[in-house]
Amino acid sequence: MQYLACVKTTHQDYRINVTATIEAEKDPEKDPFLIALGERLKLLRARRGLTRKALAQLSGVSERHLANVETGVGNASVQFLRQLCGVLNCS
């Protein structure tokens, strides 16, 4: 089982956190937590071999909102994350 939010610190999680910090420094409008969440979501989606469009359709969410969350611009609700987790088989 994989986790959408980083619970344990692994090498991959470290890279996501560093990426989030760098991105947040470039654009102070972006929250490092949302950037890290988006990076993790992209990673899980890529591991499943899904496009944004396919994941959005399978989970019943807006492709635009999914793109915004992946780039750290959009804020994800609990329900949105539950829908994605159902398709990505994570918690």
Give 54-72 pLDDT, tens digit per residue: 999 999 999 999 999 999 9
The region of weakest confidence among 9-18, 40-49, 64-73 is 9-18
Q: What is the pLDDT of residue 5?
A: 47
Higher-confidence residue of 44 and 15: namely 44
- Structural tokens at position 88: 């990505």
What does pTM read for this prediction? Answer: 0.72
Rounded Cα distance, 48 and 12, in Å:
16
Are 85 and 4 in contact, with CB atoms under 8 Å apart? yes
Q: What is the pLDDT of residue 11?
A: 55
In Å, what is the CA distance from 6 to each residue of 11, 22, 44, 63, 78? 11, 18, 12, 23, 16
